[in-house]
Structure 1
Amino acid sequence: MRTAERLVNLIAVFCIVSWRVFWMTMLNRSSPNAVPQTALTGPEIRLLDHLVKDKGGDCSRRSTLSHYVVKIARLGGYLARAHDPPPGNTVIWRGLSRLTDIELRAAIKATIMGN
């Protein structure tokens, strides 16, 4: 960060990422039954379905935003026990960071393998 312009660009990126984390956390609390495509892309949903296995047999929640936010939070260390509060910004941040790393790895692998 040798120039002020670079620092401004970094802060702008951090603002966008932190907005998405906060937005997903609050969206999960205000309208948990929304469709997951409201906040997630198709590849993110497919990766979450592949990476994080469902707990229990509750198939009715499988297509809700809340279900996928909990999956992201579980990637970030959230335990999802019966009496735990809803996931917060920290575990959502960690989970999204990990999901992004996995998504980039999958894209690079597809490019190298030619799929």
Structure 2
Amino acid sequence: MSAREKPEAEPETILTPAEIATLDSIDAARPTPRILRRTLASYLLQIAMLGGYLARKHDPPPGNMVVWRGLTRLNDIAFGISIGTRRQCG
């Protein structure tokens, strides 16, 4: 809802630094990056796309269920990245 009310807001107002870094790393792996401006609306679109939103020209804005699925998938990806970057003991 915050992205709909203030789409030009900073993403740090809603997302954690780990979530932003994860979305940036996912976007950097694509041949054509989708996050051109660092706004809350662009990050919300990326989260919705993780939840299955296709972002076609005539699609309505993403709904709560799609954003929720995208957030759970984003948290899973961020957790996997944090496990992969830990140093091994012993």
Q: Considering the TM-score relative to the shorter chain, is it more than 0.5?
A: yes
Query: Residues 1-115 of structure 1: matches in 2 within 5 Å?
Result: 26-52=1-27, 53=30, 54-55=33-34, 59=36, 62-113=37-88
How far apart, CA to CA, are the structure 2 residues paired with 1:113 and 1:30?
44
Structure 2 unpaired stretches of 5+? none
- Partner SS for 1:63: coil
Structure 1 unpaired stretches of 5+? 1-25
- Which consecutive aligned stretches of 4+ in structure 1 deviate over 2 angstroms post-superposition? 52-55
Query: Which protein is bigger by CA-based radius of gyration?
Result: 1
- Partner SS for 1:106: helix
Q: Which has the higher helix share?
A: 1
**1:23 alignment counterpart:** none
Q: Percent of pairs identical after alignment?
A: 49
The CA RMSD measured in Å over matched residues stands at 1.8
Quote how far apart the aligned CAs of 1:99 are: 0.6
What's the CA shift string for 1:48-74, capped at 9, x where partnerless? 11213434xx83xx1110000000000
Q: How many correspondences in the alignment?
A: 85
Quote how far apart the aligned CAs of 1:84 are: 1.4
**1:22 alignment counterpart:** none
Quote how far apart the aligned CAs of 1:113 are: 4.8
